[in-house]
Amino acid sequence: MNDSLITSTGPYAASTAAQRNRVLRNTYWLLALSMLPTVLGAWVGVATGITAAMGPGLGLVVFLVGAFGFMFAIEKTKHSATGVAVLLAFTFFMGLMLSRLVGVVLGFSNGTALVMTAFGGTAAVFLGMASLASVIKRDLSGMGKFLFVGALLILVAGLINFFVQSSALFLTLSVLCIGLFSAFMVYDLKRVIDGGETNYISATLALYLDVYNVFQSLLALLGIFGGED
């Protein structure tokens, strides 16, 4: 009986490990691919000035409706090839929404260098968190609720600050975003590694939002403290 149990669990364990590796590999590839529409969306936004023309109020409404609408659509289509197309369309939209900040930073004499620094810094954070997730043996599933609450609080505080326009609060939220979504990277990657997330489209969406928020916050801080007229 024990021999039979060992024989049956061996191939199953190998199959499970192979599935996890496949999901992780597909997630990395799709995440890398999603950067292309993001860059294209940001370029279109800067070149046309469409997001700047919306104004802060309309821009916020379009961002919230568009982002949550796309995320709902991705969730509904994640088990088909359509989900990949919807995800890439979402990343183009997010790049478009990012173009307002990118345009402001590029207005500085060292703007291009700041954008590249933010990109390099975000890549370094991601590589660091990915390495950390791969060596941590502890189950991190319990972190999810705390990270979600933190993200919700930052979202609410950000909406409040949209009306208050406090520079101190903005700086605080930007720093907190970098820390929170860096932790989210470890959590989201660990879920894939441990088999808690088996859909690579959902995994890519989660990691994309982590990367996006770290990059946006880092770029904002660099623009404030490093921008040269």
**Inter-residue contact 195 to 155 (CB < 8 Å):** no
Widest Cα–Cα separation across the chain: 76
What pTM was estimated for this model as a whole?
0.90
70-107 burial by CB neighbour count: b if 16+ within 10 A, else e?
A: beebbeebbeeeebbebbbebbbbbbbbbbbbbbbbbe
Return d(Cα 104, Cα 46) in angstroms, integer. 9
- Predicted confidence (pLDDT) per residue in 139-189, tens digit: 888 888 999 999 999 999 999 998 998 999 999 999 999 999 999 999 999
Nearest to 190 by CA among 173, 172, 210: 210
- Predicted confidence (pLDDT) per residue in 52-78, tens digit: 888 888 989 999 999 999 999 999 999
Q: Count Cβ atoms below 10 Å from residue 65 Cβ, excluding itself.
A: 10
Nearest to 185 by CA among 15, 5, 22, 31: 31
- Predicted confidence (pLDDT) per residue in 195-223, tens digit: 888 999 999 999 999 999 999 999 999 99
- The rounded mean pLDDT for the chain is 90
